[in-house]
Chain A
Amino acid sequence: MSDIVEKTLTALPGLFLQNQSVSGPAAAKASFSSRLGGLVRGITALTSKHEEEKLIQQELNNLKATVSAPTTTLKMMKECMVRLIYCEMLGYDASFGYIHAIKLAQQGNLLEKRVGYLAVSLFLHESHELLLLLVNTVVKDLQSTNLVEVCMALTIVSQIFPREMIPAVLPLIEDKLQHSKEIIRRKAVLALYKFYLIAPNQVQHIHIKFRKALCDRDVGVMAASLHIYLRMIKENSSAYKDLTGSFVTILKQVVGGKLPVDFNYHSVPAPWLQIQLLRILGLLGKDDQRTSELMYDVLDESLRRAELNHNVTYAILFECVHTVYSVYPKSELLEKAAKCIGRFVLSPKINLKYLGLKALTYVIQQDPTLALQHQMTIIECLDHPDPIIKREVLGEYSYLLDKETPEEVITKLYKLLRSDSISSETKAWIIAAVTKLTPQAHSSNIVERLIQEFTTSLDTCLRQHAFELKHLHENVKFMKGLLPVDKSCEDMVVDASLSFLDGFVAEELSQGAAPYKPHHQRQEEKLSQGKVLSFEPYGLSFSSSGFSGRQSPAGISLGSDISGNSTETGLKETNSLKLEGIKKLWGKEGYLPKKESKTGDETEALPVPQENIIMENVDQIITKNDQSQALTQSKEEKEKQLLASSLFVGLGSESTISLLGKADTLSHKFRRKSKVKETKSGQTTTAENVTRSSFSSSSNVTYEEDYYLDNFQDRGDKEIKKFSLNSELLDSESLTELPLIEKISNCRLSTPSLFAVNNMEVFHPPQSTAASVANEISLASSLLEETTEHMHSDLMEVCHNETISVSSYKIWKDECLLMVWSVFNKSASELKSANLEIAPAENFKITEQPGCCLPVIEAESTRNFQYSVQMEKPFTEGNLSGFINYQVMDTHSVQLEFSVNLSLLDFIRPLKISTEDFGKLWLSFANDVKQNVKMSESQAALPSTLKALQQELRLHVVDIIGNEGLLACQLLPSIPCLLHFRVHGDMLALWFRSSCSTLPDYLLYQCQKIIFHYRLLQDIEYNSLWYTLRKLRPREVKY
């Protein structure tokens, strides 16, 4: 970034010169621009926030001195104001200048006044006391004979004006409604509109004048008055029904192109006006057949007129569809509107797609059959990269139900879940959708299968959703209550005060329960009671529960690691929870048990005041609420609490350990007792919760710990066998035993000192094998971090010796190629002054990415060096070479050379354009190449071929029309290339066009290669399939 800034700065002087030479008296202008310019330049040249603060503070001090000096002229004041605005925009306080801004607006000439007013409107807010000082100035300017002054005054009034001072200017503004200049009339109307918004009572008496404005001969004034009407009609539509005719007439004229050309926007007549009118009509025609009938014609006309393919027509169309659906329904129009929405949904433009999906919700409410046509599109959207789209889509599913049985939908979703092509995030969404659907489904085979499959999924998020579903599924009746059929479309009202529980609380209190204490109060009390109490979040006990069986120190230290990791897991999970819109899932009922559990906690707090309240909470919920409904609910609730607590486990584990000391023992004994007393159902739930939590915590570890474990287990190392518990954990059944819980508690007693131990040191693997294992692990993990977002190549070793191994891989980022060299230090000692350098190549521009410059590589660790590579001149194959040097033990330095091949393909990215744009671009390119390629018969399906190309070459499939396919790509940085494919018979005609001459040839070559490979691949697949079939046959005969 800094070099961009520098370039910017070098370009500046030229600009200033122009500024000076062109306008205004040179001296004033020069001093002005150089001062603001100097400030801007000074700021952009700085590198740290701290320096910026210093500079601005200094600037503000200067300004403060200048503005308050009596010698300062208004002209200088104006410059100061501009700089003050700039400082405020950067987020610094310039409040000392506010009063001067008002003064400038008051005293300055036009030039200065305008800046003064601007500064006031930017500095002050509506209820600022200084604003009162402005009223006089405004009144004076409103009476001015100078049009510009009046305009300025009206503008500031509509921007910011103290409510209580409205009467002072109201008559003046009313007068302006009769002004001869339309610009003044228009601004006056808008100022009144502003008054209407902030103080509707004050403008009550001038409603008749609004009508006059509506009939104004100037379109601008009329359009301005519509703002007021929209507001007023929204509040009370029945009072304005008589105006429907006029609005319809106006809209007809607008749509018919009767307005002056000035109002056209990209040859669409006054789109803003049209949309405003459509909104008004929608409000007027709501639930009113007679009024609606007046507007059917013009709505139809609007739908028809908006055929043009410009974005703005889509805006009108969208508004029109909305209106059609809000007025009294007319089937013919509804059908047309639904068709329009279809165009939105099917559009390749993501904005339109998003709005289309949104609009589908109200189509489905009217007539689900219309939406069914788009079902496939909806499902396709599920895998869209933009999560917002996904959310819309899943919302859609609840509506589709009306026509299709839930089973069918679930089956479809299940199929989707099984496919590998979709991301795990999407899968989590889908499970959430299935959860919503389950209560309405009759048979639940698929759901059960799904639960089975995904409760063992490796993805934490998925597994959590699956567990949620599982527990809800166990109690169907309750689930139905929780996820009612028709509620998913409404936003649930959550009673945050939980007032419906007041009765219950009162009852409990009368029975001697302790009053509820807020969390901080409890905390304080606990602190004051000192050592006896434990604050330990129970989440911790769960996460360490996995190691209950053994108490070996190593096992425990691993446990500590895991609990640390579970913090992250918890974070991820809560994030995903938020995304999916919990509001919809959790009804009023959902909050009931939560409160109950709190009250339960209160009642129990009395008999056992010495004990840890939070810990007890878990158990008490179960004993208290033995009804099945509450049970399930509390499970859910606990699950959430678990999440929440796991968020804080990382923090908690350390602090509690140091705080607790020996008090632990006491609480554990007690807990054991209370556990025994519990009912059977209580036991299972706790156990399940334990399982789940240990699941979530252990799964995250799978990346590293499990990897170690697996490797070590393979070797049959006895010591390490102790950790195999971790993998046993994955088997949920193993934990549903009571004694286990006691062990957990025991296990925790010995932890404190060991928690700090790094597990790497505890089980140090044998040097030779471990190195290679660790190598793989670290490389794998480094890959995981950076490349999830982008496509990347496989890791490839480029060079190695006895101490280091250098691998590289490519990340095809959107804007450049990112080369990553992973240097792994195999030796047991650290390497010093390690440095990786890439030799400059003539065709490339290589930029080192920050964050990889530490010269020391510790023993057995990996360091990544990242370089972004840009191509400067098209070429087909290139070579990037470099070397790495390092020092071992301060003695000799070693240099190792390597090189990597780059091809043009590495710089090809998809070019996302629409078919129309494709058409336009196609004509504008001069270089073109054609070629016919033979295809095998099985390949005749064009889409599959294109898909292969899309995957292999990173092309974008723009459209497939019949036997023709359009693709587009760009060579970074921005050379587009368009491809046209046509199938006839078994021939494929390729046609390439681009602005660059070499690109088509090269792409043709690559495409041919891919198509050839693809053909080969298919043949092989076909053969192997045949082979397997033949192998199967005898078996079949046998049975």
Chain B
Amino acid sequence: MMRFMLLFSRQGKLRLQKWYLATSDKERKKMVRELMQVVLARKPKMCSFLEWRDLKVVYKRYASLYFCCAIEGQDNELITLELIHRYVELLDKYFGSVCELDIIFNFEKAYFILDEFLMGGDVQDTSKKSVLKAIEQADLLQEVRAGPVRKRRKRTKAKGALPTLDTLPAGPSCPFPTSLWRLAPKAPGWPAGPQALTARGGR
């Protein structure tokens, strides 16, 4: 069972936190701070798993964001890594080329998606389609009440044409702020190497 999930930026700003086991506020803050320090200090070529306190921590960096999950001793690290990836895919599909800014400004949406995907720390629904359907349903109902129904936007903003391995000038010279970088790889099954590279290039 997953104990908690954190999303934070390279600068150590918390973007999302979800706790699946009752933890006091003070303890939470301490854990978040500690774990962020540990994870941010790790180098790109190091492995994505940590043994931290009595938990196993699985983290992965997508562009400017770290996704970090704490799981229990007998849980499978690799599938947790895929779980993170699936969550990113879901976000990407929902927002359309998701980037950190989407999550900053629509964090409640990110929470809704997470709640639909994980429940009580375990995977609830692994089918991408049905998670999105559930979210869409809720969105749709809201909008029926709130105003005229509109199809959710398909984003056409500039970042749609954003980073791929070849086009992205990374580093300080990058014309786009890192928080606008696409989190998800272009296509499912996109090889891990270049993706890691985009992630690494984002400095």
Binding site for B on A (CB under 8 A): 1, 3-5, 7-8, 11-12, 14-15, 18-19, 22-25, 28, 33, 36-37, 40, 82, 85-86, 89-91, 109-111, 114-115, 118, 121-122, 125-127, 146-148, 151, 155, 158-160, 183, 186-187, 190, 193-194, 197, 220, 223-224, 227, 260, 262-263, 265-267, 270-273, 275, 279, 310-312, 314-316, 318-319, 349-355, 385-386, 388-389, 814-816, 845, 847, 870, 872, 911-914, 916-918, 920-921, 970, 972-974, 976, 995
Q: Which 9 A-B pairs have the closest CB atoms?
A: A913-B193, A315-B78, A917-B193, A973-B170, A7-B177, A126-B22, A262-B127, A974-B201, A315-B79
Contact B201 A389 (CB under 8 A): no
C-alpha gap A484/B58 in the complex (Å): 34
C-alpha gap A851/B52 in the complex (Å): 33
C-alpha gap A837/B161 in the complex (Å): 38
Q: Of all chain B residues, which has the CB nearest A974?
A: B201
Set B76, B120, B145, B193: member contacting A914, Cβ < 8 A = B193
Given A224-B124, A262-B130, A312–B79 Cβ distance below 8 Å?
yes
Instruction: Return chain A residues, CB-CB under 8 Å to B203.
Output: 815-816
Contact A275 B108 (CB under 8 A): no
Instruction: Return chain B residues, CB-CB under 8 Å to A11.
Output: 101, 176-177, 180
**Shortest distance in angstroms between A387's beta carbon and chain B's nearest beta carbon?**
9
Q: Does B40 contact A (CB under 8 A)?
A: no
Q: Of all chain B residues, which has the CB nearest A152?
A: B138
Instruction: Return chain A residues, CB-CB under 8 Å to B23.
Output: 125
User: B residues 86-141 with Cβ under 8 Å of A?
Assistant: 86, 101, 104-105, 107-108, 111-112, 115, 119-120, 122-130, 134, 137-138, 141
**Shortest distance in angstroms between B200's beta carbon and chain A's nearest beta carbon?**
7
Set B22, B50, B86, B200: member contacting A388, Cβ < 8 A = B50
**Shortest distance in angstroms between A908's beta carbon and chain B's nearest beta carbon?**
14
Contact A220 B169 (CB under 8 A): no
**Shortest distance in angstroms between B202's beta carbon and chain A's nearest beta carbon?**
9
What are some 21 contacts across the A-B interface (CB < 8 A)?
A7-B177, A8-B180, A11-B177, A18-B155, A24-B147, A89-B16, A109-B145, A114-B142, A118-B111, A125-B22, A158-B119, A187-B124, A223-B123, A224-B124, A275-B76, A319-B76, A845-B173, A912-B45, A914-B193, A920-B191, A973-B201
C-alpha gap A870/B24 in the complex (Å): 45
C-alpha gap A916/B108 in the complex (Å): 38
**Shortest distance in angstroms between A657's beta carbon and chain B's nearest beta carbon?**
36
Contact B101 A193 (CB under 8 A): no
Instruction: Return chain B residues, CB-CB under 8 Å to A37.
Output: 105
Contact B79 A148 (CB under 8 A): no
Beyond A114-B112, A972-B171, 14 extra complex contacts between A and B, CB < 8 Å: A8-B177, A15-B101, A110-B145, A118-B115, A183-B134, A194-B120, A220-B130, A272-B123, A272-B126, A273-B126, A275-B79, A351-B49, A351-B81, A816-B171
Set A33, A186, A267, A271: member contacting B82, Cβ < 8 A = A271
Instruction: Return chain A residues, CB-CB under 8 Å to B104.
Output: 40
C-alpha gap A312/B77 in the complex (Å): 11
Q: Does B153 contact A (CB under 8 A)?
A: yes
Binding site for A on B (CB under 8 A): 11, 14-17, 22-25, 29, 43-51, 74, 76-79, 81-83, 86, 101, 104-105, 107-108, 111-112, 115, 119-120, 122-130, 134, 137-138, 141-143, 145-147, 150, 152-153, 155, 157, 165-166, 168-174, 176-180, 188-189, 191-194, 196-198, 200-201, 203
Q: Of all chain A residues, which has the CB nearest B24?
A: A125
Contact A86 B107 (CB under 8 A): yes
Q: Of all chain B residues, which has the CB nearest A5?
A: B177
Instruction: Return chain B residues, CB-CB under 8 Å to A121.
Output: 115
**Shortest distance in angstroms between A86's beta carbon and chain B's nearest beta carbon?**
7
Given A114-B112, A310-B189, A917-B194, A974–B170 Cβ distance below 8 Å?
yes
**Residue of B15, B76, B134, B197 with most partner-chain A CB within 10 A:** B76
Instruction: Return chain B residues, CB-CB under 8 Å to A388.
Output: 46-47, 49-51
Q: Of all chain B residues, which has the CB nearest A920?
A: B191
**Shortest distance in angstroms between B61's beta carbon and chain A's nearest beta carbon?**
13
Contact B48 A351 (CB under 8 A): yes
Contact A111 B14 (CB under 8 A): no
Contact A148 B120 (CB under 8 A): no
Q: Of all chain B residues, which has the CB nearest A313?
A: B78
**Shortest distance in angstroms between A265's beta carbon and chain B's nearest beta carbon?**
6
Question: How many residue pairs, one in A and one in B, have C-beta atoms under 8 Å apart?
Answer: 249
Given A89-B17, A266-B188, A386-B47, A110–B142 Cβ distance below 8 Å?
yes
Given A311-B192, A312-B78, A995-B166, A40–B143 Cβ distance below 8 Å?
no
Q: Of all chain B residues, which has the CB nearest A391?
A: B51
Instruction: Return chain A residues, CB-CB under 8 Å to B200.
Output: 814-815
C-alpha gap A349/B81 in the complex (Å): 14
Set B22, B77, B108, B112: member contacting A127, Cβ < 8 A = B22
Contact B142 A111 (CB under 8 A): yes
Instruction: Return chain B residues, CB-CB under 8 Å to A197.
Output: 120
C-alpha gap A11/B104 in the complex (Å): 13
C-alpha gap A815/B173 in the complex (Å): 12
Set B126, B153, B168: member contacting A270, Cβ < 8 A = B126
Contact B179 A33 (CB under 8 A): no
**Shortest distance in angstroms between A579's beta carbon and chain B's nearest beta carbon?**
12
C-alpha gap A135/B29 in the complex (Å): 28
Instruction: Return chain B residues, CB-CB under 8 Å to A151.
Output: 134, 138
Contact A311 B130 (CB under 8 A): no
C-alpha gap A798/B138 in the complex (Å): 67
Contact A91 B168 (CB under 8 A): no
**Shortest distance in angstroms between B50's beta carbon and chain A's nearest beta carbon?**
7
**Shortest distance in angstroms between B149's beta carbon and chain A's nearest beta carbon?**
10
Contact A914 B119 (CB under 8 A): no
Instruction: Return chain A residues, CB-CB under 8 Å to B189.
Output: 266-267, 310
C-alpha gap A914/B200 in the complex (Å): 16
**Shortest distance in angstroms between A97's beta carbon and chain B's nearest beta carbon?**
14
Instruction: Return chain B residues, CB-CB under 8 Å to A279.
Output: 74
Q: Of all chain B residues, which has the CB nearest A975?
A: B166
Contact A263 B82 (CB under 8 A): no
**Shortest distance in angstroms between B76's beta carbon and chain A's nearest beta carbon?**
5
Instruction: Return chain B residues, CB-CB under 8 Å to A4.
Output: 177-179
C-alpha gap A223/B47 in the complex (Å): 30
Instruction: Return chain B residues, CB-CB under 8 Å to A110.
Output: 138, 141-142, 145
Instruction: Return chain A residues, CB-CB under 8 Å to B15.
Output: 89
Contact B157 A14 (CB under 8 A): yes
**Shortest distance in angstroms between A819's beta carbon and chain B's nearest beta carbon?**
15
**Shortest distance in angstroms between A431's beta carbon and chain B's nearest beta carbon?**
23
Instruction: Return chain A residues, CB-CB under 8 Å to B51.
Output: 388
Contact A318 B112 (CB under 8 A): no
C-alpha gap A349/B101 in the complex (Å): 31
Contact A911 B76 (CB under 8 A): no
**Shortest distance in angstroms between B32's beta carbon and chain A's nearest beta carbon?**
8
Given A350-B45, A351-B81, A118–B165 Cβ distance below 8 Å?
no
Instruction: Return chain A residues, CB-CB under 8 Å to B138.
Output: 110, 114, 148, 151
C-alpha gap A318/B75 in the complex (Å): 11
Contact A186 B127 (CB under 8 A): no
**Shortest distance in angstroms between A384's beta carbon and chain B's nearest beta carbon?**
9
Instruction: Return chain B residues, CB-CB under 8 Å to A125.
Output: 22-25
**Shortest distance in angstroms between A94's beta carbon and chain B's nearest beta carbon?**
11
Contact B172 A148 (CB under 8 A): no
Instruction: Return chain A residues, CB-CB under 8 Å to B176.
Output: 7, 11
Q: Of all chain A residues, which has the CB nearest B127?
A: A262
Q: Of all chain B residues, which has the CB nearest A155?
A: B115
Instruction: Return chain A residues, CB-CB under 8 Å to B79.
Output: 271-272, 275, 312, 315-316, 319
Instruction: Return chain B residues, CB-CB under 8 Å to A24.
Output: 143, 146-147
Set B78, B125, B153: member contacting A23, Cβ < 8 A = B153
Contact B82 A15 (CB under 8 A): no
Q: Of all chain A residues, which has the CB nearest B163?
A: A974
**Shortest distance in angstroms between B60's beta carbon and chain A's nearest beta carbon?**
10
Contact A311 B82 (CB under 8 A): yes
Contact A921 B193 (CB under 8 A): yes
C-alpha gap A4/B178 in the complex (Å): 7
Q: Of all chain B residues, which has the CB nearest A224?
A: B124
C-alpha gap A654/B132 in the complex (Å): 65
